[in-house]
Amino acid sequence: MANETDNSTATRAAGGKFAGLLRNPAALRLVGSLFVLEIGSAMTTVGLPLLVMQRYGLGLEVGFTLAARFLPNILLGALAGQIVDRYDPRRVAMLAALGSGLVVALFPLTTAMWQIQLLALAIGVGYMFSFPATMALRPQVIPEGSELEGNGLIVMAERIPKLIGPALAGPIAAGLGIGWLFCAEAATAVAAAALLLRLPLSERPAAETPSAASAPGAPEARAARPGPAGLRWLAAWARALAGGARELVHMVKDDGRLSSLTVTAFTYMVALGLGRTFLAAYSLEEFEGVPAMLGYLLAAMGLGGACGALLTARLRGWNQGWVYILGNALEGVCWIALIWTGSWVVALALLFVAGVFESIASVVYFAEVQKRLPAQLTGKYYATLVPLSDVFLVGGTVAGGLLVGVAGVAWSAALVGLAMAVPVLLLISRLVPEKRLPAAPAAAPVAADEVLS
């Protein structure tokens, strides 16, 4: 009876916090900005390969062009956190959105493959800054104690566009032409930047800004590094990546749950890379008679993700370490269960449920990181985490291609599920215990009328 009362109280509290966030103009602007930006990005995800294949046919160029969007973040993402932490993240997010919108609008004007690839790289640069900047804005708009509900809204704002964007892209491309897809993303980028205009500005102490002489690439630093320019650049990048990894360890080492969340984020990216390759082979081998089955499978996961983001707040009364463990482990079970189904209906249902669990685990991850990481390190954390995560994602994707060809679809599904479930199960002793969080320094709350001004 006591447990039922506690759960009922937690549910009412979650509903009240959701209602409070929906009355918070700053939170709505951040969520709305992310939502419209993701819709535009989803349309370009459809339009870019169509544009390349329509003009130049199939070939290695298509794969490289699509991969080019990830390269800036892998190579230089560790440096983006320095900029996000040094300057106001709102301005960084706005400039990244506007820059990406301008670049996307140029795609229909290109006349050569190298121009498309260069623009794809530029889009990757925008993403390299926009994601850590958006993450750094969360503590400004999500009140303390509402991390679960706030991050649930953010994850939902990321998942729903993955359904809406492709659904809008089809009629636009068919009726108006592929070029209008890029114009649509340019418009959403402007709208996303406009929604950020009235977010509260953060004040950065002058002491946080390093001098120009100590900045990477300063004349003194360049003079102190002999050797060919290419080798110096490669060495500098290797040092930045290694230094970012060391800094990430330093940021999370004193909190067992935070460090375990970070480690399992990397292992999950390996599983995600494996899963992408597996799903393509699975849809062709198991459901050859169902056209576009891969799209249906991905849509089922997207729909499940949107539902899971809304459900997470109802688990507020649970130990969040257990919620994270169960989310990852049960998602892994859903992937393994695909081995034994020959029905496309069951496969869609399993991936819908997998999407629910994936979204629940993602919300808990973001909420726990936000609660445990000092606000001034948020941008640096994500700018360091994301490039390293992309390395693991690429590694998993490459390994998936080899695995499916050698081991077959069934063993690939098993490995995807195990890669999701085993790491969190091995880290139960670090994920479950609650760590007493240090008291946050007192700060003057931002009133609603101040946000609107």
Choose one of 144, 174, 200: the last residue of a domain: 200
Q: Do residue 289 and residue 180 come from a single domain? A: no
Residue 427's pLDDT is what?
Answer: 92
Q: Do residue 124 and residue 195 come from a single domain? A: yes
Q: Do residue 164 and residue 42 come from a single domain? A: yes
Q: Do residue 397 and residue 277 come from a single domain? A: yes
Q: Do residue 180 and residue 278 come from a single domain? A: no
Q: Do residue 54 and residue 175 come from a single domain? A: yes
Residue 12 lies in a domain: yes
Choose one of 171, 200, 229: the last residue of a domain: 200
User: Per residue in 47-71, is it b (16+ CB within 10 Å) or e — as a string?
Assistant: bbeebbeeeeeeeebbeebeebbbb
pLDDT tens per residue across span 11-63: 555 555 555 666 677 778 888 888 888 888 877 776 776 677 677 765 556 55
Amino acid 99 reads G
pLDDT tens per residue across span 208-244: 433 333 334 433 444 444 545 556 655 665 666 566 6
Residue 449 lies in a domain: no
Residue 308 C-beta-side C-alpha neighbours within 13 Å: 29
Q: Is 4 left (phi over 0), alpha (psi -120 to 50) or beta?
A: alpha
* pLDDT at residue 10 greater than cutoff 60: no
pTM above 0.85, yes or no: no
Residue 427 lies in a domain: yes
Share of the chain above pLDDT 70, in %: 72
pLDDT tens per residue across span 125-164: 888 888 778 777 877 777 777 777 777 777 777 778 877 7
Choose one of 174, 200, 226: the last residue of a domain: 200
Are 29 and 199 spatial neighbours (Cβ–Cβ below 8 Å)?
yes
Q: Do residue 428 and residue 298 come from a single domain? A: yes
Residue 15 lies in a domain: yes
pLDDT tens per residue across span 59-86: 556 556 666 777 777 777 666 766 776 7
Amino acid 428 reads I
Residue 173 lies in a domain: yes
- Of the candidates 192, 211, 132, 196, the one whose C-alpha atom is nearest the C-alpha of residue 382 is 132
Question: Contacts by 235-243 with C-beta closer than 8 Å and gap 24+?
Answer: 237/75, 237/76, 240/78, 240/79, 240/216, 241/78, 241/387, 241/388, 243/78
Q: Tell me what the mean pLDDT of segment 246-275 comes to.
A: 83
Residue 369's pLDDT is what?
Answer: 86
Residue 220's pLDDT is what?
Answer: 40
Please report, for the domain that includes residue 48, its CATH number: 1.20.1250.20
Question: At 215, is the secondary structure helix, strand, or coil?
Answer: coil
Which of 6-10, 179-183, 320-324 is least confident?
Answer: 6-10
In angstroms, the CA 232 to CA 244 distance is 18
Residues 6+ apart with CB under 8 A from 205: none
Q: Do residue 51 and residue 182 come from a single domain? A: yes
Q: Do residue 76 and residue 176 come from a single domain? A: yes
Residue 321 lies in a domain: yes
The number of distinct structural domains making up the chain is: 2
Residues 6+ apart with CB under 8 A from 162: 38, 42, 298, 299, 302, 305
Residue 404 lies in a domain: yes
Residue 440 lies in a domain: no
Residue, of 291 and 276, whose pLDDT is higher: 276
Domain coverage including residue 70: 1-200
In angstroms, the CA 157 to CA 37 distance is 10
Residues 6+ apart with CB under 8 A from 284: 293, 294
Q: Do residue 395 and residue 284 come from a single domain? A: yes
pLDDT tens per residue across span 400-430: 767 776 777 788 888 999 999 999 999 998 8
Q: Do residue 269 and residue 131 come from a single domain? A: no
Q: Do residue 292 and residue 388 come from a single domain? A: yes
